[in-house]
Each structure stands twice: as C-alpha cells, then as structure tokens.
C-alpha cells in the first residue's frame, strides 16, 4: 500500500483539497485499495479540545464543482476533520507533502529533518516552483484548485514512474480479471488518467 500525507497550516483548505483530489485520482484508476491518503495540520488553529474543524465550506464547494465529494463520489469528504501532524506520521507515510515553504520548515523541525527523503512541497510535482496559493488569505479557490490538481496529477505520474511503486501497482492490476475493453481503459499509462 502506498501512503500519502498532505499537510498545510490548518488542514481545512489546501491539504484537504489535495487529499480528496488524490483520492479521486486513485479511485478513478481502480487503485483505491492500493493507497492510503490523509491530510493534517502543522498547527492547532482548527482543532478545539481535540476535535478538528470540518473542511472549509468554500473548499467543499470547489471540490464538488469538480465532482468530488458529491453523492456519487463522496470519498469521505463529509466526515473529514482537521487533525494535527504528529512525529509518528514520518514512519507511517511514504510521501509527506507540504503545501508551502513554512509547512516544510515545520515538518523538518517536527520530524528532525528528513532522513528518508519523504518530504516534498506540492509544487515539486509540477513544472512550477513556489507555494500552493492559500485561499484562506486570497479567497481564490480557483488558483488553489489549479495548484493542488496539477500537484496531485504530477505526484501520481511520479509514483507510476518509480520502479518500486509502479511494481506494486502493476501487481495489483495483474491480479484482477479484465476483459479486452477494460484492459485498454484501466489507465495505467502514467499520462493517461482523469485530470481535474
């Protein structure tokens, strides 16, 4: 199983959008059982007495606008609550992806740097540098959607291009029964899968 953790400051906008975009990608590829995907916060701003806030409503609206979190494609969005990133997350996840430079600094501090090379910035998986636009300050959920969607699709391509992870996924597909039409549509070619 490939385990991915997306992280931002409060875990109600950017990292949560990334979590559900990635869940949508793997679900549409028929790889739901091969991935474990979560998101978390670097700060407790959205966690009160141990209870996390739900996903910020405008973020939910933007996801639903793209068919994610709808009745037909809920993926657990309505149950998502903010949670704090903890030191043990480093061992639990294969990819730990911060949304901006401040997140990356906080993760290095929490985890004692990155001895296994698991920490990335979301836009590392795109052809652009920089940070994912923070809609909490900008109000621009379109820019955040673009950043997160491009980053998640780039991450998925990276996973499919990595020999170790690609072998795990290929084994998953090999164990399934496919007819000829399904064989063509299953989308394992790394640049041939649903885009946001």
| The pLDDT of residue 58 | 96
Catalytic residues, which ones? 8, 14, 134
d(CA 24, CA 45): 27
Q: What pLDDT, in 10s, does the model give residues 178-188?
A: 444 544 444 44
pTM of the model: 0.88
d(CA 136, CA 101): 16
Tokens matching residue 172: 């998953």
- Residues shown for the chain: 196
| The pLDDT of residue 98 | 98
Q: In CATH, what class is 2-185?
A: alpha beta
Positive or negative torsion for Cα 104, 147, 63, 184: negative
Cβ(119)–Cβ(29) below 8 Å: no
User: How is 38-104 classified by DSSP, letter by letter?
Assistant: EEEESSSTTEETTEEPBPPHHHHHHHHHTTSSBTTB-TTGGG-B--B--TTHHHH-SEEEESSHHHH
Domain range list for the chain: 2-185
Q: pLDDT tens string for the chain (196 positions)?
A: 999 999 999 999 999 999 999 999 999 988 999 999 999 999 999 999 989 999 999 999 999 999 999 999 999 999 999 999 999 999 999 999 999 999 999 999 999 999 999 999 999 999 999 999 899 898 999 999 999 999 999 999 999 888 888 887 876 655 555 444 544 444 444 444 444 4
| The pLDDT of residue 54 | 96
């Amino acid at each position: 199983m490939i385990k991915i953790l997306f992280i931002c400051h409060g875990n109600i906008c950017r990292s949560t959008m990334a979590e559900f975009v990635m869940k949508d990608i793997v679900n549409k590829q028929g790889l739901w059982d091969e991935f474990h995907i979560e998101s978390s916060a670097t700060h407790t701003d959205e966690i009160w007495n141990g209870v996390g806030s739900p996903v910020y409503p405008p973020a939910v609206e933007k996801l639903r606008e793209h068919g994610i979190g709808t009745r037909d494609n809920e993926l657990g969005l309505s149950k998502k609550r903010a949670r704090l990133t903890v030191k043990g997350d480093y061992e639990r996840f294969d990819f730990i992806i911060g949304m901006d430079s401040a997140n990356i600094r906080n993760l290095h501090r929490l985890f004692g740097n990155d001895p296994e090379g698991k920490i990335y910035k979301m836009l590392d998986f795109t052809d652009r540098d920089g940070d994912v636009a923070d809609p909490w300050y900008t109000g621009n959920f379109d820019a955040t959607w673009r950043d997160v969607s491009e980053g998640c699709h780039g991450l998925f391509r990276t996973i499919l291009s990595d020999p170790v992870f690609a072998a795990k996924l290929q084994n998953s597909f090999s164990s399934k029964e496919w007819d000829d039409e399904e064989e063509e549509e299953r989308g394992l070619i790394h640049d041939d899968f649903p885009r946001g």
